[in-house]
Structure 1
Amino acid sequence: MTTLATLSTPVALIDLPRMQHNIQRMQQRMDSLGVRFRPHVKTSKSTPVIRAQIEAGARGITVSTLKEAEQCFADGITDILYAVGMAAHRLPQALALRKQGCDLKIITDSVASATAIADFGRAHGEVFEVWIEIDTDDHRSGIKPTEAALLDVGRALHDGGMRLGGVITHAGSSYDLNTPEALAAMAEQERAGCVHAAERLRAAGLPCDVVSVGSTPTALEARDLAGVTEVRAGVYVFFDLVMHGVGVCSKDEIALSVLTTVIGHQADKGWAIVDAGWMAMSRDRGTQKQAQDYGYGQVCTANGTVLPGYVISAANQEHGTVSFQGAADTDIVARFPLGTQLRILPNHACATGAQFPEYQAVSADGEVASWSRLHGW
């Protein structure tokens, strides 16, 4: 039987009891709010994780790459939303999926893109289902709910022979908040803006069946989702230190970690050196702008118990520096002898997971199973 002690580090661990807890927590939240839940699988990119989400009640999935869509479709999942603005060079790949029977939805936020989709669709005898991306928080891409361009895009799709399926938004700026009140206000802003966009399309005689919103923080803190048909969220399945800083999870709910081994010391500096550098943890320093900066990750014992104050304070490609925040630990050699295994909680689960070709899924009894992870576009 494979156990933690037999693994060659660094490796990415999934704490299965924590993951299942997180899945149930989110699904129950969505059920109580009366909306469909379409998880974003870009966090795990792993079939066993996605299966667990669907078995808990998810209806359809969200992907960030068409390669994810291809793999999920090959695994028998047909209801797939590709939630990245559709680029013209990817239309043949999207067409191939739809021709095979995949119920793939794509998104756009400009007349130029909408026209390109419609022209390509007509040329190949395909009616793409397209959702319009709405900007509800000035965070990234999308059309403002009140912009004239919204109706222009809608008409370009509808009159161009495509199916205008709905509107979609993502309140990514929720990651910058850290109180329930602020998160609830952002969730309402996200809801109201997307619903308003849908109402404008309908008032103009255009179809808009789906109103899709979501981020992990707003999904967990939304008070009311009137007018919304579905919610999307992704990082909740593992959580991470950024989500802890936002205030939507405890450290004991973070299901992804990196198992690493102490390979050296700088005793005079109070450092232990581990074999998890930025190639394992990623370069993501998302907690740097939060109230608590965890460097490249929070240090825990091999069984997952948090060691308060100990972080990966610096990282090179294959070396991580473990130190105590505030003062040098003069007992670092005795505390973490050579060969000691440690778990490191990541700043950003999506980024850390992306460093590894597979996960080691750890059950409640300590048994370990390898779960493959998808890479590429």
Structure 2
Amino acid sequence: MKNLNRMRVQAETLGVTLRPHVKTCKSPDVILLGNDGKSCPITVSTLREAEYFADAGFTDIIYAVSMVPGKLERAKDIMKRGVDLKIIIDDANIARQIGEFGDQNDCNFNVMIEIDVDMHRAGLSPDAPEVIEIAKIIHEQQGTELAGVLTHAGESYECETKEQLIQAAENERAQIARAADNIIEAGYPCKIVSCGSTPTATYAQNLRDVTELRAGVYVFQDAFQAGRGCSTNNDIALSVLCTVISHKNNQSRIITDAGGMALSKDQSTRGTDFDCGYGIVCDIDGNIIDNLIVTGANQEHGIITTKDGSDFNFASYPIGTRLRILPNHACMTAAAYDEYNVVDNGTDVIDTWSRCNGW
């Protein structure tokens, strides 16, 4: 609740709509918890997520992965369920194909143009001539309507200081706003100006000319976000419950039943001054055990050693001891599971929340 409320207040303070990216939690229960039990605009990364959240009553959805013609039939089916589904592209030829499909199938696709502000993963530069070309195609042809522009400041994850994060947030804002201005000056509509990542959403000082803010991992936070100053380790709301299954006395380490399949093998904190191996080790109640680290992750085995290389105190962790591991990357770790156990006071499960997997 603390994580959810913090981002809600941030969006309200900046005067923009918060559109949570559900790719982290993939759970309507989590998003409804942060919105007083009501549906809200959301972002998805798979059409499976769009279908799942549509089943839960969410009707304003951005599918924030480049659309391809082979997925249009499925997108059309989601729209027929009363969902305002917005899709994104960065290619003029695909824009034409979407229009042709929409015209032939008596449907109208709301299309956004993806803008690349830093990461060079997908999208077009704000001043690229192709932005206006695509806007013209979407606006003028049958079967499509221009909904706006969207970006993700992926390089914010490389920032190491608060000042760098503030600068990354301003760069994201300025560049997506410039892309929108270019489209409007060319004579085309640009209703939605959408930006966001958890780091830039957290550190944005103003979002002038932006209409909405997207972020995802903030709902749980993780070791990487904490290390970058977007939260603290005590804000991390997701953990994997595991059990000590073996003592390796000759190697001064213990083995748990949470390996790569349970924790993921994401080591996003590697090479930083807050490296936590494959996860932060806690006791059953979530209290961090400072000198322990998950140094290895085989498929079903997790290896825990001391950080400083001192001898392991095996008596404190007999076989059968239950521990919690806080993840490096909450999205990747959560993807291993079909549901969440909501706990209070250690292992008392007070609720179970569903989530979706797949594409």
TM-score band by shorter chain is over 0.9
Structure 2 residue aligned with 1:4: none
Shift of 1:357: 1.4
Counterpart position of 1:152: 133
Superposed CA offset, 1:93-130 (max 9, x none): 00011122111111111112211111111111111101
Query: Matches of 1:148 and 1:244 in 2, distance apart?
Result: 39
Bigger relative contact order (CA 8 A; separation at least 6) = 1
Aligned to 1:256, the other structure's residue is in SS state: coil
Partners of 2:260 and 2:22 lie apart in 1 by 23
- Counterpart pick for 2:228 among 246, 252, 261: 246
- Paired residue for 2:28? 47
Task: Measure, in 2, the Cα distance between the counterparts of 1:328 and 1:320.
Answer: 19
Answer yes or no: is the 8 Å Cα contact 1:35–1:228 preserved in 2: yes
The answer to whether structure 1 residue 179 and structure 2 residue 155 are counterparts is no
Range moving further from structure 2, 53-62 or 150-159: 53-62
Q: 1:190 to 1:57 in 2, by over 3 A?
A: farther
Partner of 1:190: 172
1-side partners of 2:224 and 2:17: how far apart?
26
Counterpart of 2:114, as a letter, is E
Kindly indicate whether the alpha-carbon contact (under 8 Å) linking 2:202 and 2:230 is maintained by their aligned counterparts in 1: yes
Question: 2:90 maps to what in 1?
Answer: 109
1:205 is the counterpart of 2:205: no
TM-score (norm 1): 0.92
Give 1:268 shift: 2.2
Q: Of the candidates 252, 255, 261, which is equivalent to residue 237 of structure 2? A: 255
Note if contact 2:285-2:345 (Cα within 8 Å) is conserved in structure 1.
Answer: no
TM-score for both structures, normalised by structure 2: 0.97
The answer to whether the 8 Å contact 1:268/1:330 transfers is no
Deviations 1:213-242 (A, max 9, x none): 000000010001100000000000000011
Structure 1 stretches of 5 or more lacking a match?
1-19
Read off the aligned partner of 2:138 and give its amino acid letter: L
How far does residue 57 in structure 1 lie from its aligned partner after superposition? 8.0
Question: Which amino acid is 1:281 matched to?
Answer: L
Instruction: Say if 2:317 is the partner of 1:336.
Output: yes
Match of 1:297 in 2: 279
Q: Supply the AA of the counterpart residue of 1:213.
A: C
**Mapped pair 1:119 → 2:100:** yes
Q: CA deviation at 1:292?
A: 2.1
- Mapped to 1, the partners of 2:199 and 2:311 lie a distance apart of 36
Q: Give 2:124's aligned residue.
A: 143
1:72 deviates by 0.7
Provide the aligned C-alpha RMSD in A. Answer: 1.4
Alignment-derived partner of residue 223 in structure 1:
205
Match of 1:85 among 60, 63, 66: 66
Would you say how many aligned residue pairs link Structure 1 and Structure 2? Answer: 357
Aligned to 2:292: 310
- C-alpha deviation, 1:80, in angstroms: 0.7
**Counterpart of 1:360?**
341
Listed as ranges, the gaps of 5+ residues in structure 2 are none
Report how far residue 370 of structure 1 moved. Answer: 2.1
Q: Is the 8 A contact 1:27 1:58 kept in 2?
A: no
Question: 1:343 is paired with a residue of what secondary structure?
Answer: strand
